[in-house]
Amino acid sequence: MFDSLFIAFATLFATVGPVDVALLYTALTPGVDATQRRTMAIKGVAIATGILLVIALFGQPLLSFLGISLPALRIAGGILLLLLAIDMVFARQSGANSTTAEEEAEAVRSKDVSVFPLATPLIAGPGAMGAAILLVADTHGDVWRIGQVVIALGLMMALTLALLLVADRTRQVLGVTGLNVITRVSGVLLAALSVQFILDGLIAIGLSPPLPRL
């Protein structure tokens, strides 16, 4: 009954990477007082939530207007998420949910990092946007399942904000090893989900027979 909620939350956890975002946030805000950091965190999460909601609810109609079919979206999105998952399993930085060296240098010079790079690309990055579109597309217009995806997105944003507000403590508790363990486990789950998206796309165009689900 709540399968879409659990799948959406797991997928968004892997693509948003709230623990990674929290740890990067501490590195991007050295010397910033607690009040300003809290304000930037709330603003950044609010903007990212708006971006992902718009992408999730209106991304598929826009792609349909451009002539992009649902199977093509599933296959392309699955490949994108699979590449991200591979980087996560091997604990490598990926442009899908992190900043480049030039972007990070620009962010350090900026006094307010809430919009860039916190809201995007750290929280609402290409991986998270692609996942949001795919998750809603996979509901086939079922309002109840779309609602579950939206709830999962809200829960993920709440978790991200909570971790941002306690980012320093999170860094101390987890350390590098703990962070890599969470990243690798999330990467394995995301890899399986991304392959399923690809298979669903291939089945839809008749290149693969229907496969049994667990």
**Under 8 Å CB-to-CB from 17, ≥6 apart: which residues?**
88, 97, 183, 186
- Residue among 134, 113, 133, 155 at smallest CA distance from 18: 155
Q: Please report, rounded to a whole number, the percentage of residues in the chain having pLDDT higher than 70.
A: 88
Residue in the structure block whose two tokens are 């990243």: 183
Determine contact, residues 133/59, Cβ cutoff 8 Å: yes
If pLDDT is split at 50, 70 and 90, which confidence band does 36 have?
A: very high
Q: Please report, rounded to a whole number, the percentage of residues in the chain having pLDDT higher than 90.
A: 35
CA 190 to chain centre: 10
Whether residue 214 is predicted with pLDDT greater than 70 in this model: the reply is: no
Mean pLDDT of the 92-106 span? 59
Mean pLDDT of the 186-198 span? 85
Confidence (pLDDT) at 76: 86
Confidence (pLDDT) at 68: 83
Give the model confidence (pLDDT) of 54-80 as tens digits: 999 998 888 888 888 878 888 888 898
SS3 per-residue string spanning the chain: CCHHHHHHHHHHHHHHCHHHHHHHHHHHCCCCCHHHHHHHHHHHHHHHHHHHHHHHHHHHHHHHHCCCCHHHHHHHHHHHHHHHHHHHHCCCCCCCCCCCHHHHHHHHHCCCCHHHHHHHHHHCCHHHHHHHHHHHHCCCCCHHHHHHHHHHHHHHHHHHHHHHHCHHHHHHHHHHHHHHHHHHHHHHHHHHHHHHHHHHHHHHCCCCCCCCCC
